[in-house]
Structure 1
Amino acid sequence: MQSDAPAPSGIARVERRTAGPAESARASRAWWERSADDYQAEHGGFLQDTGFMWGPEGLVEADARLLGPPERVRGARVLEVGCGAAQCSRWLRTQGVREVVGFDLSYRQLQHARRIDEETGWRVPAVQADAQRLPFAGEAFDIVCSAFGALPFVPDAAAVLTECARVLRPGGRLVFSVVHPIRWGFPDDPESLTATGSYFDRRAYVEEDGQGRAVYVEHHHTMGDWVRALASAGLLLRDLVEPEWAEGNDEVWGGWGPVRGRYLPGTAIFVAEKGSP
């Protein structure tokens, strides 16, 4: 996530600049359509076909119980934002959750979801949609969750959280994980402990092709930005989890790894609730 890093193969330029909702959505969809196969091949084993992993540190929902008590979750209607191949949603189905719906911007990711559905026998209804404009009725879900899905790739945190709040029933819970904001001061080197950028630089990380078109966009919001966005959406922050690197986890995932993970958080998980009217 540093503009001074070498450009990835096939990318003409990497920079930090502003990127709006439409440009960000176009870039994200194209990138995931192109990269879904490699992503699932590389990380599918770690994520597990029926697993709910909150981030590279190895924290799983079975241990964390951030969605709520199991007996309450089983009776809930759940929406997974940016579900990818729907691993998290599928895990919820294996736990007896009656209704789980997923959506993702990438059709190719959803094809992987259907493939895994057929291989495991656990089917998750999923649709193609943009988190910035949820195609669901208001107050349709008891729980909305997202493990690194969609939220890191949208420019307006308040707008997307407002959409999440809109589809939540009063008393419902929103839980989502994103890149820990402090990570944006460090390069994508899992062993580097030297800050090379400003935590307060809110410009997006953008990869461009030879024609200057954005082909990958990721957005940075500070911890305060996320808290204010939750408040503006009418959500009450109940918990903020910064997972520690799990003992025995040797996974290296971009800028995440056991070396830096012992000293700095790489993931932030926000737990919020929608107040009753």
Structure 2
Amino acid sequence: MDETTSEPEAVRRPASGTESSRANRAWWDENADEYQQDHGAFLGDARFVWCPEGLDEAEAELLGPASALRGRDVLEVGAGAAQCSRWLAAQGARPVALDLSHRQLRHALRLGRADGGPDDGPDGSEPGFPLVEADATALPFAAGSFDLACSAFGALPFVAEPDRVMREVRRVLRPGGRWVFSVTHPLRWALADEPGPAGLTVLASYFDRTPYVEQDARGRTVYAEHHRTLGDRVRDVVGAGFRLVDLVEPEWPDWNQQVWGGWSPLRGRLVPGTAIFVCERG
């Protein structure tokens, strides 16, 4: 069997932090083009979408009113092509877009070249805000650098030690700073990742925290996701020194007819697909 072309095997087994980081960096570098091609139209070039349900920050105001974002320093963790950061910049904020994947950040540059809007760099080749390639468990910023931090399905599902991300985000936030992040709703871990009726059947224990791993023919990890129960997420938030202000479980809107992986109108109207944690630094 040619291991360079064979499909990876999906298993449930332990995966360390270093192993997960290395594998997921390579996976996103390899799959960033396809991801942006498949989902770029839904995400927009400068739209802040929290989740496949389509909850938009312009309406939800989980970071606060758009008018209050002007002049605020905002860190986007797991930014991908930095669409959310571009929306923040358009509101007058000063975002920094951080991602583990070099290729995802190249798409942020591509959007800058294509748009040529007022938030782009002077030569139209870069966005008007920093792009930083780094691991979310070791943020390369001084303490108290940001007023706000956000993450729309970025970093947290893919790290073995999400509590380290929480502590790092708290460190770089100023007192009273808000930290808002969205992740796959923990309930989904127990269900098949299917958009149709099969995705409504419990197949695994919600309490089994063994990571989901895709491995190649030699058993090397090529992709990893890590499960946390709802209680685990709350304990990570509180243990890092945050106060949990709100927990948002977006309902599926009638206008959204798209299927995105395991997200669909069928499942979305019956079980939650996303959990958004709104936190404030103590």
Pairwise TM-score range, normalised by the shorter structure: over 0.9
Provide the rounded CA distance (Å) in 2 between the counterparts of 1:74 and 1:17: 45
2:89 counterpart SS class = helix
Q: 1:175-214 residue pairs with structure 2 within 5 A?
A: 175-191=180-196, 192-214=199-221
Alignment partner, residue 124 of structure 2:
none
Normalised to the residue count of structure 1, the TM-score between the two structures is 0.94
Alignment partner, residue 250 of structure 1:
257
Post-superposition offset of 1:104: 0.6
User: What is the count of residue pairs matched by the alignment?
Assistant: 266
- Is 1:102 matched up with 2:97? yes
1:74 counterpart SS class = coil
- Please list every run of 5 or more consecutive structure 1 residues that lacks an aligned counterpart in the other structure: 1-8
* Alignment match of 1:158 (pick from 163, 168, 180): 163
How far does the alpha carbon of each residue in 1:104-152 deviate from its partner, in whole angstroms, 9 at most, with x for none?
A: 1110001100010121133132010000110011110000000001111
Large movers: runs of 4+ above 3 Å: none
Provide the rounded CA distance (Å) in 1 between the counterparts of 2:138 and 2:6: 31
Provide the rounded CA distance (Å) in 2 between the counterparts of 1:174 and 1:64: 15
1:33 counterpart SS class = helix
Alignment partner, residue 226 of structure 1:
233
Provide the rounded CA distance (Å) in 2 between the counterparts of 1:250 and 1:27: 32
* Alignment match of 1:45 (pick from 41, 44, 60): 41
Q: Look up the equivalent residue of 1:233 and give its one-letter code.
A: A
Provide the rounded CA distance (Å) in 1 between the counterparts of 2:31 and 2:160: 21
Alignment partner, residue 3 of structure 1:
none
Provide the rounded CA distance (Å) in 1 between the counterparts of 2:65 and 2:8: 48
- Is 1:112 matched up with 2:107? yes
Alignment partner, residue 176 of structure 2:
171
Alignment partner, residue 141 of structure 2:
136
Provide the rounded CA distance (Å) in 1 between the counterparts of 2:62 and 2:205: 31
How far does the alpha carbon of each residue in 1:47-86 deviate from its partner, in whole angstroms, 9 at most, with x for none?
A: 0001100000010001100001223222310000010000
Post-superposition offset of 1:93: 1.1
2:63 counterpart SS class = coil
Aligned residues with identical type, % of pairs: 58
Provide the rounded CA distance (Å) in 2 between the counterparts of 1:220 and 1:145: 20
* Alignment match of 1:23 (pick from 12, 15, 19): 19
How far does the alpha carbon of each residue in 1:14-71 deviate from its partner, in whole angstroms, 9 at most, with x for none?
A: 1111111100000110100100000000000000001100000010001100001223
Provide the rounded CA distance (Å) in 1 between the counterparts of 2:44 and 2:164: 31
* Alignment match of 1:272 (pick from 246, 254, 279): 279
Alignment partner, residue 146 of structure 1:
151
Post-superposition offset of 1:232: 0.8
2:69 counterpart SS class = helix
Provide the rounded CA distance (Å) in 2 between the counterparts of 1:165 and 1:113: 26
Normalised to the residue count of structure 2, the TM-score between the two structures is 0.92
Provide the rounded CA distance (Å) in 1 between the counterparts of 2:151 and 2:100: 13
Alignment partner, residue 123 of structure 2:
none
Post-superposition offset of 1:11: 2.8
Provide the rounded CA distance (Å) in 2 between the counterparts of 1:235 and 1:146: 15
Q: Look up the equivalent residue of 1:38 and give its one-letter code.
A: E
Q: Look up the equivalent residue of 2:18 and give its one-letter code.
A: A
Checking the alignment, whether the CA contact within 8 Å between 2:45 and 2:111 is kept in structure 1 is yes
Checking the alignment, whether the CA contact within 8 Å between 2:77 and 2:154 is kept in structure 1 is yes
Alignment partner, residue 73 of structure 2:
77
Provide the rounded CA distance (Å) in 2 between the counterparts of 1:253 and 1:263: 16
Alignment partner, residue 131 of structure 2:
126
